[in-house]
Amino acid sequence: MKQGQVIGHVGPKYVYGVKGNQYSDSTGRPTNGATTGPHLHLGIRLDGKYQNPLNYF
């Protein structure tokens, strides 16, 4: 990863292809939980295990 590199985008609440996502709306479309507006989820994995993102700032 390099400084200034795009690491995410803020967009619609519907998320596809996220392993283990247990949330969906009333129509069955996958969501990222109780969404009140555009936002970004940041997850960092090392060797497949989630890490605390605050350790990387």
Residue 20 CA neighbour count, 13 Å, CB half? 1
CA dihedral (18, 24, 29, 33) in degrees, to 10, reads -70
- pTM comes to 0.39
With a cut of 80, say whether residue 2 has pLDDT above it. yes
pLDDT of residue 46: 93
Strand partners, 24: 30
With a cut of 70, say whether residue 43 has pLDDT above it. yes
Q: Which two tokens stand for residue 33?
A: 């939980």
Residue 51: band (very low, low, confident or very high) from pLDDT cuts 50, 70, 90: very high
The whole-angstrom separation of Cα 18 and Cα 1 is: 21
Burial category of 30 from C-beta neighbours within 10 Å (exposed 0-12, middle 13-18, buried 19 and up):
middle
With a cut of 70, say whether residue 36 has pLDDT above it. no
Mean pLDDT check: name the lowest of 3-7, 16-20, 50-54. Answer: 16-20
pLDDT of residue 50: 92
